[in-house]
Structure formats: structure tokens, C-alpha cells
Amino acid sequence: MRRLRLSEATLTQARRGAARPGYVRGACRVGWVHFGPGAFHRAHQAYYADRLLERDPRWAISAVSLRSAGAREALSRQDYLYCLAELGGAPQVRIIGALREILAAPADRDAVLARLEAPETRIVTLTVTEKGYCLGPDGQLDPRHPDIAHDLGSAAPARSPIGFLAEGLWRRREHGHTPFAVVSCDNLPDNGPTLRAAVAAFAARRDRPFARWIESEVAFPRTMVDSITPATDAELIERVAEASGLEDAWPVQRERFTQWVIEDLPEVRVADWASVGVTLAADVSVYDRAKLRLVNGAHSTLAYIGLLRGRSTVAEAMRDAPLARFLERLMREDIAPSLHGPGRPELSAYIDATLERLRNPSVRHRLAQIAWDGSKKLPVRLLSTMSEALAAGRPIERLALPIAAWLRFVVACARAGEALTDPAAERLLALGRACTDEPERDVARFLTLEDTFAPRMAAEPAFVRALVNAYRALGPGGAIPAAQGGGA
């Protein structure tokens, strides 16, 4: 059946099964710039902006795509409207109208900088993944990164979000505009201060007083975001079309659960975040560490071990009884002890809720998607927990299994001639092709990856021994030792 395309002109024809924006889009103004308008942003931050616009017309979003123009090409034909499907129980569909435009950088460099310079822009958010920050293994800006080297040494359009942020702030300072707050929504340890340090380091190479101004005057709040967001597929497109009665080229989906915690700084209070369910907190770290280690760590564990065991989605992996038992023991006995400190969430209940979310059969979260960028994700999701456990004298045998599963996953991709989505893909595949199923030698090869395995940790005998034993135990099929929760 041929359907009308979703657009401003056809919005009134949407079926009652799809909630429409509760505001006049033409009356809204751009006050928010976002880098990285992928599925997560459109299912998360833009959802909150959509609800803010019902109360305050200042928060329409200008989104900036740093690489691909695909989102702009798909959504420009429908006036940047799209559908969000919330999964769980009876799926709910909401038409999101918060996006005013999608700019493709660097082709639209001047338009991006004009948005960043505009006094009305008060919030800049980012979802560019860990690799988008161009950091070295020490967590600091890597001046040798190709994008940073380009932005520092060339008058050509910027490639990195760091370069765009620095230039936008420079222009605001020159014109006496109040700096915007910069809100990283990516899974970086201490993401706000980490981003501030990177932008200031970039700026210092241009002008040291400018760098000091960034450090003292620009707000980079810590944040934590959480909601499982599976990739868009043909099934979702058809389901959304049936619910809305309109054709949407690029809908998005997520679980019903969603959480956003932002550090409570004065510069952040320009919007009424609490009215749309955002938590402003004095200490975000307790939320952030719990989410990174228990939710994201669980995802990576399911991805690498689950793929070895022939599973394809998170829910399917959770129906694998040995794997589900192993994961629960890992979370309760190995990860939870690392989440100490005042104000932490009640961890037993948090783990119960996380396991329930992972079992949700309505969410088809592909393990292959979660497995992307392991070289950048694993240091913050699992290796930091292992490092603390080693220092505290706690066991690390279970924690070693998902790391070893990643190594096995890379080897399997290399032998099958499959592509690997990872910033270190070329080197990883070369290492994988060189592996010979001799655990000591294979693990030693991977431990040369200093951007993933800190040299100090890679030289720790207890860590190496645990990783070698885990690699041997898993084998190419993802066998889970009975002592670690596996077995029939």
C-alpha cells in the first residue's frame, strides 16, 4: 500500500496511534546545537528537546553530522520530522519535531559556525562515540590524531568536534557572547572535564589566554545517558508506517526506559530539565560509573561471548542460560564491588532492573552492533574494573572472560575475512590473522595494543595469566567454565 511521506504538510494526517508534536514548529527557535545526529541522539536528547518545546520554544535543535550526509538526505525530505518507537508491552510511536536542520560538516562549515556563534545557542551536546574525541591512551587530546593534526595545521574546514567547538568558542569570545554549555553524552570517564581538557589543549596551541578562558568560563558538565537503542531495520520502518499511516525514511526505536543525568551547574539551568524528566545532580559520577560498568559492561560481555556462542541479539543471549548465569555473577560479584562511594544507587535493585531490561524480547539489540569499537569501549567498560580489582586484591578471573572473548571475536573476524568496525581495525585484523591458537602467544600479540591495554596493566603477571586462562577456556566457541557460572 502506498502511503504519504511524513512531512510538515502531512503531519495532521498521522493516525491516532502516533503522538504528534504538542507545539507549533514554526514558532520554535534554535537554541541547541548537537554533534552526531545518529539513532541514539534522535531517540534520547531530541526526545527530551521535543518535550521541552511543549513548554519553551527556545530549544529546537540544529544537528551537525561530522561525516555522512545520510541523515540529512533522508530527513530533509520530511522536514526533519521522524518517528520514535518505544519498545516494551504495546509499542508506542511519537513523531519528533525537535530537529530544525541537519548540517553536513565540513561542507556546511560556515553554517555550523554561525549556529555556534549565535547568542541564542546556549547548549551544545555531543554523541560522537568514544573515538570521536580524538584522545590518546592517557585520556588526553592526541595532537597526532589525523583529524586534530588537520584542524591544527590547516585553514581547511574542521574535521573534529574539538576543532569546531574551539572555533565556535573563539568567535563567541571575540564578540562578547556568553559561552554555551558543552554537554558530552558519550561514555567517557568523567566526560565533561575530559572534554574541557581536550578543547583547552587544542585552544592552547592557538592562544594560551583563550585556553585559560575556556577552562575558567565555559561549562562542561558531567553527564550520564542511558537507553537501549537498537538500529533501525526494515521491520521497524514497516511497524512505524502501520502505526502512523505515514512513510518515514529513518525512524528510530528504543526501550521505554530512558535516563539522563546532568551535573547541576548554573549554566545548565537555562532550560527546565526537571520538567521533562532529566535529573540534575551534584555528583553524576555515581550514576555514570554504575551505568558504564553494569549496563555497558554487561552489553559488551553479552556481545563478545554471545557472538562466539552463535547468538545474535541481547535478548537471545539472555535466553542462553549458562551465559545469563555467568553475566549475573559477573555483575553481582565482580563489578558491583567496584562501585563504592557515598550516594551510589542501590546496586542490588539496579542490577535486577538492568537484567530485566536486557531480557526484554521487544528490543532487538544486535550483538554485532554492540561489538563495534571494542578497542575504545573495553578500557572504560571492563578493563578499569579489572585494574581496580587487581589493586584491591579481588579476583579477576570472571572479568577476564569478556576481554578474552573480544580477542577471540577479532581472530574470528580476521580468519573469516570479515570487516571490523573499530578505529584500530587494520591493526586488529593483522593481529588476528597472525594468531595460531596458542593462548600465551595470541594474548601477547594483543597486549601490544597500548591504546587499549595500558602498558602497566599489560605487564602485570596476574592480569596476563587470567587473560591467557580465559582465552584458553573459551576456545573459538565461547565455552563458559562451570566454575564461573557456565555449564549445561
Mean pLDDT by 10 residues, the chain (488 residues): 90 93 97 97 98 98 91 94 88 94 92 97 96 91 94 82 97 96 92 97 95 98 93 92 95 94 96 96 89 94 98 96 96 92 73 94 90 94 96 96 98 96 96 97 97 95 98 95 69
| pLDDT on residue 345 | 61
Question: For residue 100, what is its C-alpha cell?
Answer: 530544525
Q: Which residues contact 425 (CB under 8 A, 6 or more apart)?
A: 419
User: What's the farthest any 2 CA atoms get from each other in the chain?
Assistant: 67
Question: What is the Cα–Cα distance from 362 to 373, expressed in whole angstroms?
Answer: 25
Homologous superfamily (CATH) of 4-281 is NAD(P)-binding Rossmann-like Domain (3.40.50.720)
The CA distance from 385 to 399, in Å, is: 8
* DSSP one-letter string for 345-362: --HHHHHHHHHHHHH-TT
The one-letter amino acid code at 387 reads S
Query: What's residue 91's pLDDT?
Result: 65
The alpha helices in 44-121, defined as continuous H runs, are 45-53, 70-76, 109-117
Domain boundaries, the chain: 4-281, 301-484
7-13 long-range contacts, CB within 8 A, separation 24+:
7/77, 7/78, 7/79, 7/81, 8/79, 8/81, 10/246, 11/81, 11/95, 13/245, 13/246
Which value, to the nearest 10 degrees, does the dihedral of the CA atoms of residues 54, 253, 185, 420 take? -160
Q: What are phi and psi of 16, to 5 degrees?
A: -65, -20
Using DSSP's 3-state secondary structure scheme, residue 224 falls into strand
Bond from prior residue into 143 cis (ω within 30 degrees of 0): no
Hey, what amino acid is at 448?
T
Measure the CA dihedral 346/352/356/359, to 10°.
130
Predicted structure pTM score:
0.79
| Reported CATH class of domain 301-484 | mainly alpha
Contacts 24+ apart (CB under 8 A), 420-425: 421/371, 421/372, 421/373, 422/372, 422/373, 422/374, 422/375, 422/376, 423/131, 423/373, 423/375, 423/376, 424/375, 424/449, 424/451, 424/452
Q: What is the pLDDT of residue 362?
A: 84
Q: Look at strands 123-126 and 30-35 and give their pairing.
A: parallel
Q: What is the dihedral of CA 282, 286, 288, 293, to 10 degrees?
A: 180
Beta bridge pairs of residue 183: 125
- C-alpha–C-alpha distance, residues 414 and 401, integer Å: 20
Cross-strand bridge partners of residue 104: 65
d(CA 426, CA 301): 23
d(C-alpha 426, C-alpha 446), whole Å: 13
